[in-house]
Structure 1
């Protein structure tokens, strides 16, 4: 992090402070929060599930310490999370959280409750313009369910792909001479009821100007998902440009052996805290149109 201090006599002092960031760390005395609501849809873009509400917060307890949490409530599923984060300065940043879920499955005539625990670590190396994020290790009990797992069990009547352990490593590198940012990600996932899977992805992104359009961004991602001795390869392309006073226009394309998706989105701020987003696109499975409104904010005591 670059620090610049301008004294009253006009003199300037500049120096760098090494630090790392985890999304849930918040400045002392500040509160960050997000709230959203909606209904899930299936691959054919049909509404398929109950209305749900989700939210999260982070509170800067003191210098270096933050408390955070969140929850999801929808139909017969709810989950609540709480955690704590610590800025270790030169050593990076560390956080730990626990999530408790409860889901009622009508096909099994049972209610399942379980917990999931996650340890996250982030470290930045300023000399190399890089950051390694170990986001890290997650262990989930057999009866713990994410909302995605609950919706699959609710729709198909069978619970499968119950997560057990997950290891994640993300490496970010700034290639300033080329004007590029590179992101390398690896996930190893084990399950209670099937063999493990591995996911690899590489993303290259760049900001650039084109004529009167400034601060445009282009991102290209290639990935491989390895599951049951078979590979699923694909790529994503994303292009974003400023549009209007405070809005942005984005094009997104996903190409894989299973589906090709093209999506156009418009995003704009309503005020300092609220925004709306409109999405429209096509895929092999049909046409979709989605409108989203979300409320987020930051409050300082």
Structure 2
């Protein structure tokens, strides 16, 4: 399988490594010139609990990518989706599938503006990954992926993708209730990502303070109420259990929103907390803690103007 990973940040590199280990022909596509140069010069360095490996993956700028891919894996920021897919339209052939593992809600519909709906695969990942330098990624912690055709239909290609990722070391399975999984991940991020960003601390810090734990629980319960009122049946306890894993097993992981705030980049809070708030309003559900965290992170974004 010819796989193009568009958005070669921490998560993109982690998944590219898995596809490479499984024997796929993988190309990284990104706009960071230092990162691209480092990968092409010495390979992608990936550090996991098992050790450090160096993987010989080609890295290109979007305009350099010209060969049609069987699978395009999209890991850009949500607000870059349209620009990113337009920038790599040369590699989107009539049979190319696009897998979005981006944060937040509504990514499948955004991708469907660029490819046929039957070729959109949606998913979520619970893997931790940090970009520690140009060409260097660290992933210390366990997790996996759930994927499924976003709008229903044939699951054959999605199963091949899941099998490759599993063979490459990232446990992945098909989840027919993928929208419930996406909502659950968004609710988790609405609590954990925002609090990490606002405190400038990793999950271990949150787990050590009752104030943070109370807000985490409140956001999860609000998000579940909004999901259920929107016709997505989910329960709170599995999400709460995942937050416990985050503050223990992933205690030192820098959440993507924390990385963005520290680096002076815009966050994806509109696609996470903002999307939950908008859905809650439409369904007539109050989500005050989720909305407060959304507005506080928006103030962080406003500092960049």
Q: Say whether the fold is shared (TM-score over 0.5).
A: no
Q: Quick check: which one's helix share is greater?
A: 2
Using CA pairs below 8 Å that are at least 6 residues apart, which structure has the higher relative contact order?
A: 2
TM-score (norm 2): 0.23
TM-score scaled to structure 1, two decimals? 0.23
Which structure dedicates a bigger proportion of its chain to strand? Answer: 1
**Over alpha carbons, which structure has the higher Rg?**
1
